[in-house]
Amino acid sequence: MTQSPPRPRPRDDGEATTPPPFAVTPEVDGDTAVDREPAPGRLHPLRRDGDLLLTGRAEFLDDIALPGLLHAAVLRSPHAHARVLRVDATAARQARGVRAVLAPEDADAQAAPLPAFFEPSIVGGKTSTFRILAGTKVTYVGEAVAAVAAETLADAEAALELIEVEYEVLPAVVDAEDALAPGAPLVFGEWGDNLLAVFPFAEGDAAAAVAAAPHRLSGELHTQRHHTAPMETRGYIASWDRAGRLTFWGSTQNPHPLRTNLSTVLGLPEDRIRVIATRLGGGFGHKFNGYAEEPLVCLLARAAGGPVKWVETRADALLVGAREFSHRFTVGYDDTGRILGIQDRVVGNIGALGSWGGWSMTFPAGMTFPGPYKVADYDIQSHAVVTNKAPWNGARGYGKETACLALERMVDLIAAERGLDPADVRRVNFIPEDEFPFWTAAKHLDSGNYAGALDKVLALSDYRGLRARQERARAGGRLFGIGLAFELTPEGGDFAGSFVRGYDTSTVRVYPSGAVTVLTGVTSPGTGNETSIAHLVASELGIPSEQVSVVQGDTDTCPYGFGNFTSRSLATGGAAAVLAAREIRDRMSGAAAALLDCAADDLRFADGNVTCVTVPTSSLSFAEVAETVYRRGLAAPGLDQPLLEVTRVDLPHNFHHVPDEQGRFSAYPSYPYSAHVAVVEVDAETGVVDLFEFHAVDDCGNVVSPRFVEGQLYGAISMGIGGALWEHQPYTTDGQPVATQFKHYLTPRAGDLPAIRLDSQHTPSPFTLLGTKGAGESGVGGGLAACVNAVNDALAPLGATAHHLPLNPPNVLAAIDAATNPGGAR
């Protein structure tokens, strides 16, 4: 749970140089005339708990120390694919400090199979049954086979060595194309093949359009297995009280669905379980619920008779995969670079399926096509292929980044082939501003001014100047590259049938003292949405933000909610809180109207007061009104609504679940976008890429807290850059993951990144209460694609293309060698 308490009002000695805040346009948010200015002199609400975070006093899961806390360790499969013949834990049970040992049969006897975070069969995919501990077959290195709880972590880990497991090793398959080949080892024998699902996204007749196009080109692109790497790894604590009630602390993004799952797996009524989501040191999808360790700590705690904690090691965190995609595409176009048809065979190597949700990233990977471009004929087939690598979980970008990468490469390849400027090719293909809302096969795009954002980033980066610099550098024999990328980022998805839903719930409660609490079903992965929600509610009620506390993540306290994913917080929980606050304000208006003898319409809620605009001396403080409602409600005339607590639900009003007559549907409601320019120089002799400029313009509609949006962009772009250039979890051919530490899995450090320059544009969504769009993922695809385009632009004079990511020095040099020394030694 994160509880952000009210804070004393800070002094109003503000800053004056930040961009204008709270750009909520009245046209969209016509329902309210509230003043969303923060306290005078302050241009951004202060981040809640920023002081605790900066001084190292914020509490994370691993800081929780319950009396008698025991520690869990998990025995994991060392084999990528094997039958489990025997698990003997006898010796471990006798080992020092050991309080509980679970073998597969113990777990099976006490627990039902794991519910999937996102059940593939809902969308027509194959499925399987997953248990907490694998007792019959393991399908990847790292799959949990047994577990121990002991007095110290050292004792628990030592006891693992005493558990004997007999395996019959089976042939493993780690490459997606190998897995699709006839005769490949089957990850799930009963399937008959290794194809979980194929998601087609098509309009028109792509094959005919491509065939008829004046020009066409084909290519292949491969992204490596890379994922999120939150600073704080996962962790869970379970504690049973004497009455058999379970309290569960989790570093998780979805406390309520997690509780539902625990109820299902443990066979315990949901109201006997309290799940508390602790403050997150990063989520990014890595902390979606659905992991075996969630119920596992509960079983261990029950068996041991004491609370049990499990914290994921870095090596275990690096097992959780994502984003290993390949594209085989053909695109047809005319002389001006206008795209006439796209065919892309997308393949996601999703690892072994598990109960985790990440496999579903193959859906947006296809759905996002054709991005910001107006293409009548396209045919995208996105394949989810299982192999004997560890399963995927969610990863910021969620497959949309791979669509962006493929599309943006296609556009640049067209520009290069036609001798056109890549910016111009984008411009001729954009969906025009006046055609929104715009339908594609599986998207109802809300609003956009794509050309405006592109123009803005070209100006921000001095694009013409950059091209002039490039010309000079090339004349001097240097490999100077400029990469553009335009990213469309579907956000806020709703997958009915799962617990990945598009709506959420908030309660606003006013106490007699005038203190206000928001209880919401959306959680924060550390982005600061609690600050924004408090600010929105405070603005509706005309009180300082500091008077509003926000409670998230505690299932005993908060309304049922779906937590944090797909950049949904403000358009769902935030909007619901605004609606609830408005209803509270109406109720308090009724009371104040009676108390001040003023028409309710003439009341103004501002500066902590409720004032009658026609008689400005006639005023009560917000707290006085609240207290009077509690003390005199239902007893004094006009005070007939004493309940100062309202719960509302809201969502972006742009879901189209039932296909229209053309078969079109839209599971995502909100479509922010961003334009990017990356500038690199490539060292031709070593393959080292120096990324030295990055510019981006983002449009996520109306913005509540500009600095938080900037923070998201910095992070997302950095993540995209990391994926383009360095981050990689390699596997050996027999299925062993190789990167086990941050010295192997190379995320960018501050010194690896240029100063990212940002600007913004605001095109409100007509479908969300506040005109906002999602703001958490934009930049992953743009950072990735802009870097890859920039490197390829740099290599152009050598005739080289670098389409195997990451573009780290060995891969870049291999691309150079392939072009300059074909058939050479390498």
Partner 1 sequence: MIRTPLRYHRPRTPDEASALLVEHRGDVAVLGGGTQLLPQMNRDQVHVGHLVDLRGLGLRRIEVTDDQVVVEALVTYADVLLSRDLSRAAPHLRRVAHGVTGGRQIRNTGTLAGSACFAMPGSDMPAALVGIDAILRLHGPDGAREVRAADFYVDAFTTVLRPGEFVLAITIPRTAARTGYCKVKHSSGSWPIATATARRLDGSATVTLGSVHATPLHVDVSDLASNGPVDRAALADRVRSALPAPWTDVLAPGDYRARIAGVVAARAFSELEGVPA
Q: How far is the CB of 51 from partner 1 (least distance, A)?
A: 23
Stretch that binds partner 1, among 147-155, 179-187, 474-482, 645-653 (CB under 8 A): 147-155
Q: Cα separation of 51 and 58, whole Å?
A: 9
CA gap 520, 537 in Å, rounded: 12
From the list 212-220, 355-363, 758-766, 810-818, the region that binds partner 1 by CB under 8 A is 810-818
- 480 forms beta bridges with 681
Q: Which stretch binds partner 1 (CB under 8 A): 109-117, 141-149, 611-619, 732-740?
A: 732-740
Query: Which of 41/730 has CB closer to partner 1?
Result: 730
Minimum Å gap between C-beta 132 and partner 1 is 23
At closest approach, how far in Å is the CB of 239 from partner 1? Answer: 22
Residues numbered 345 to 404 that lie near partner 1 (CB under 8 A) are none
**809 contributes a contact to partner 1 by CB under 8 A:** yes
Q: Which of 484, 677, 813, 815 forms a contact with partner 1 (CB under 8 A)?
A: 813
In the complex, minimum distance from the CB of residue 726 to partner 1, in angstroms, rounded to a whole number: 5
Interface stretch with partner 1, choices 15-23, 178-186, 652-660, 724-732 (CB under 8 A): 724-732
The span of 121-129, 154-162, 376-384, 651-659 binding partner 1 (CB under 8 A) equals 154-162
What is the smallest separation between the CB atom of 690 and partner 1, expressed in angstroms?
A: 11
Alpha carbon distances (Å) from 233 to 229, 534, 579? 8, 28, 35
Query: Which one of residues 94, 129, 136, 152 is an interface residue with partner 1 (CB under 8 A)?
Result: 152
Kindly state the smallest distance separating residue 787's Cβ from partner 1, in Å. Answer: 13
* String marking each residue 122-141 x if it binds partner 1 according to CB under 8 A: --------------------
Alpha-carbon distance of 156 to 824, in angstroms, equals 53
Residue 715 contacts partner 1 per CB under 8 A: no
Residue 474 DSSP SS3:
helix
Q: Does 733 bind partner 1 (CB under 8 A)?
A: no
Contact call for residues 737 and 80 (beta carbons, < 8 A): no
CB of 746 to partner 1, least distance (A): 5
Helix, strand or coil, per DSSP, at residue 601: helix
Q: Give the torsion sign (CA, 639, 642, 644, 650).
A: negative
CB of 229 to partner 1, least distance (A): 11
Select the span of 322-330, 544-552, 672-680, 808-816 touching partner 1 (CB under 8 A): 808-816
What is the SS3 assignment for 480?
Answer: strand
Give the span between the Cα atoms of 355 and 291, in whole angstroms: 7
Three-state SS string across 410-456, please? HHHHHHHHHCCCHHHHHHHHECCHHHCCEEECCEEECCCCHHHHHHH
Is there binding between residue 826 and partner 1 (CB under 8 A)? yes
- Name the residue nearer to partner 1 (CB basis): 422 or 806: 806
Q: What is the dihedral of CA 12, 13, 14, 15, to 10 degrees?
A: 180
User: Based on CB atoms, which residue is closest to partner 1, 8 or 824?
Assistant: 824
Question: In which region does residue 385 sit, left (phi positive, over 0), alpha (psi from -120 to 50) or beta (all else)?
Answer: beta
**What residues between 683 and 712 interact with partner 1 by CB under 8 A?**
685-688
Distances (CA, A) of 639 to 580, 604, 626: 19, 18, 11
DSSP 146-179: EEEEESSHHHHHHHHTT-EEEEEE-----SHHHH
Interface mask toward partner 1 for 33-62; x: CB under 8 A? ------------------------------
Q: What is the DSSP letter of 782?
A: H
Scan residues 402-441 and list those touching partner 1 (CB under 8 A).
none
According to the binding rule CB under 8 A, does residue 730 interact with partner 1? yes
673 touches 699 (CB < 8 A): yes
CB proximity list for 478: less than 8 A, separation 6 or greater: 681
Q: Beta-carbon neighbour count of residue 590 at 10 Å?
A: 17
Q: How near is the Cβ of 689 to partner 1 at its closest, in Å?
A: 9
Q: With CB under 8 A as the contact rule, which of the stretches 152-160, 376-384, 407-415, 498-506 interacts with partner 1?
A: 152-160
Q: Which two tokens stand for residue 412?
A: 């640049």
Stretch that binds partner 1, among 363-371, 700-708, 788-796, 803-811 (CB under 8 A): 803-811
How wide is the angle at C-alpha 177 spanned by C-alphas 175 and 179, nearest 5°?
70
Concatenate the DSSP letters of all residues of 354-421 into one string: -SSSGGGGHHHHHHTTTTTB--S-EEEEEEEE--SSPPB---TTTTHHHHHHHHHHHHHHHHHHHT--
What's the residue count for the chain?
Answer: 826
- Cis status of the peptide bond prior to 806, with omega within 30 of 0: yes
Output 161 or 168, the one with its CB closest to partner 1.
Answer: 161
How many amino acids of this chain bind partner 1 (CB under 8 A)? 34
Burial, 400: exposed, middle or buried (Cβ in 10 Å; 0-12, 13-18, 19+)?
A: buried
DSSP per position, 298-351: HHHHHHHTS-EEEE--HHHHTTSB---EEEEEEEEE-TT--EEEEEEEEEEE--
Measured from the CB atom, the residue of 161 and 177 that comes closer to partner 1 is 161
**Does residue 161 belong to the site contacting partner 1 (CB under 8 A)?**
yes
Stretch 294-333: interaction string toward partner 1, x if CB under 8 A? ---------------------x------------------
Among 27-35, 199-207, 480-488, 811-819, which window interacts with partner 1 (CB under 8 A)? Answer: 811-819
Residues 657-686 that bind partner 1 (CB under 8 A): 685-686
Nearest CB to partner 1, comparing residues 156 and 518:
156
Find the part of the chain contacting partner 1 (CB under 8 A) among 157-165, 202-210, 245-253, 282-290: 157-165
Contact between 496 and partner 1 by CB under 8 A: the answer reads no
Q: Which is nearer to partner 1, 686 or 733 (CB)?
A: 686
* Shortest spacing between CB 805 and partner 1, in angstroms: 13
> What are the strands of the beta sheet with 273-277, ordered from one edge?
98-102, 144-150, 70-76, 308-311, 235-240, 246-250, 273-277
- By CB under 8 A, is residue 69 in contact with partner 1? no
Listed ranges 155-163, 496-504, 528-536, 590-598: which one lies at the site for partner 1 (CB under 8 A): 155-163
Cis peptide before 171 (omega within 30 of 0): no
User: In angstroms, rounded to a whole number, what is the distance separating the alpha carbons of residues 366 and 371?
Assistant: 10
Stretch touching partner 1 by CB under 8 A, among 436-444, 563-571, 582-590, 802-810: 802-810
Q: Quote the CA–CA distance of 228 and 214 in Å, as a whole number.
A: 42
Judged by CB, which is closer to partner 1: 557, or 740? 740
Residue 736 CB, nearest approach to partner 1 (Å)? 11
Give one word for 823, left, alpha or beta, with left for phi > 0 and alpha for psi -120 to 50.
Answer: left
Q: How far is the CB of 164 from partner 1 (least distance, A)?
A: 17
Task: Tell which one of 333, 363, 726, 767 touches partner 1 (CB under 8 A).
Answer: 726
Residue 2 or residue 77: which is nearer to partner 1 going by CB? Answer: 77
Question: Which residue, among 648, 668, 652, 666, has the nearest Cα to 768 in the 3D structure?
Answer: 652
Enumerate residues 742-801 that contact partner 1 by CB under 8 A: 742-744, 746-749, 751-752
Q: How far is the CB of 606 from partner 1 (least distance, A)?
A: 48
Selected binder of partner 1 within 209, 404, 725, 775 (CB under 8 A): 725
Residue with tokens 């041991």: 304
Q: Which residues bind partner 1 (CB under 8 A)?
A: 152-155, 157-158, 161, 315, 685-688, 725-726, 730, 738-740, 742-744, 746-749, 751-752, 808-810, 813-814, 817, 826
